[in-house]
Amino acid sequence: MSRIIKQANPKLTEANISRALSRIPYARFLGIKPLLMGSELTMVLPYSDSIIGNSNLKALHGGAVGAFMEITAIVQLQLSSGSKKLAKPIGINIDYLRRGNPKDTYARAIVARQGRRVANVRVRAWQDNYEDPITILHGHFKSAHIED
Amino acid sequence: MPNTPSTIAEKLESLWSLAPTTIERTPHAKELGMKFVAIDIGQTTMSLPYNPNLIGDADTRVMAGGAVTTLLDQCSGLAASSLFDPPVSVATLDLRIDYMRAATPNEAIVAQAHCYKATKHIAFVRAVAHDGDSDDPIATSQAIFMTAPIPNAEADKNSSETQLAGKESR
């Protein structure tokens, strides 16, 4: 089974994901970790007190969750394109559906379209249940292999 | 709210007594090293000094788009909060960001937000991030905020003020 998946997506290995993440100091700062199940990449934003945005409500900062989803999109694009350069955001939209509670957050990105110059990506972030997302991002990213 | 000179002065005094400590009271904004710069009714300015921890691409040493997102969200939230009377804590409902260019390495990023309309519970905010010249933006954003529920139903009258501009994801 794992051989079939690897054939389908040879770039999706723990080592490649760690390599992509190591190029993003901000991902390390947020403590973001990859979780690979088959060929599905899920990113984890572990809870820490430093990502709280509202101390009274113990709610996560909207910016921290937004940044987490952007990084999830960039890493997913890097893996699917195999490019040496990282994708850059052009325009993104974030919908905040539920309060981020003080616990771990997960995110998964889907490349809706990989064009030659731009890619359209959708990211869902959730906590308790994949079916109950706390935030959804969609946006365009400059394809990694395009020069400025 | 009647906009007489004395009510405006009162409101500004209250904003300036609370807003400068808003970063201090927002753990994630403090963690990133954000700085409060200025506030007016519905308008705020904040900055994010260059920080190697916030780099988004080790090759270019440019601060991550995500750090700009957080700065714009924080700054816009305070602008939204300041338009309510009394100021209340707000939650982000919707945030759109356009990234025009990369930030300059080693330079601070400045964000300026303008809350141009607030209804009873909803506020609309435009913001721009730049590194010195607002006509040459790094990013622009458009956001919608909703007033956050007060955690304790018995919260005293002052609690909404002490919560000024607490930021959260909804």
Q: Say yes or no for a CB contact (<8 Å) between A61 and B56.
A: no
Distance separating alpha carbons of residues A125 and A60, to the nearest angstrom: 12
Q: Say yes or no for a CB contact (<8 Å) between B95 and A96.
A: yes
Q: Say yes or no for a CB contact (<8 Å) between A26 and B98.
A: no
The pLDDT of residue B3 is: 77
Residue among A42, B154, B19 nearest B11 (CA): B19
Tokens of B50: 């260059």
Band of residue B80 on the pLDDT scale cut at 50, 70, 90: very high
Q: Say yes or no for a CB contact (<8 Å) between B166 and A55.
A: yes
Chains A and B: how many Cβ contacts under 8 Å? 177
Range scoring the smallest mean pLDDT among A6-10, A63-67, B95-99, B159-163: B159-163
Q: Residue type at B44?
A: T
Q: Say yes or no for a CB contact (<8 Å) between A67 and B168.
A: no
Mutate to test the interface with A, among B34, B169, B170 (most CBs of A within 10 A): B169
Distance separating alpha carbons of residues A45 and B75, to the nearest angstrom: 23
Band of residue A45 on the pLDDT scale cut at 50, 70, 90: very high
What spatial distance separates the first Cα and last Cα of chain A, rounded to whole Å?
40
Question: What residue in B sits closest to A63 (Cα-Cα)?
Answer: B70
Mutate to test the interface with B, among A56, A99, A142 (most CBs of B within 10 A): A56
Q: What is the ipTM of this complex?
A: 0.89
The 3-class secondary structure across chain B, one letter per residue, is: CCCCHHHHHHHHHHHHHHHHHCCCCCHHHHHHCCEEEEEECCEEEEEECCCHHHEEECCCCEECHHHHHHHHHHHHHHHHHHHCCCCCCEEEEEEEEEECCCCCCCCCEEEEEEEEEECCCEEEEEEEEECCCCCCCCEEEEEEEEECCCCCCCCCCCHHHHCCCCEEEC
Q: Residue type at A108?
A: R
High-pLDDT (> 70) share of chain B, %: 86
List, for residues B18-33, the tens digit of each pLDDT value.
Answer: 999 999 999 999 999 9
Output phi, psi for B95, to 5 deg. -140, 125
Residues of A within 8 A of B100 (CB-CB) are none
Q: Say yes or no for a CB contact (<8 Å) between A96 and B93.
A: yes
Q: Say which of A22, A66, A95 has its CB closest to residue B66.
A: A66
pTM value is 0.89
C-alpha distance from B26 to closest chain A C-alpha (Å): 5
Distance separating alpha carbons of residues B161 and A131, to the nearest angstrom: 36
Q: Say yes or no for a CB contact (<8 Å) between A24 and B94.
A: no
Q: How far is CA A43 from CA A29, A94, B45, B53, B84, in A?
A: 14, 17, 33, 19, 37
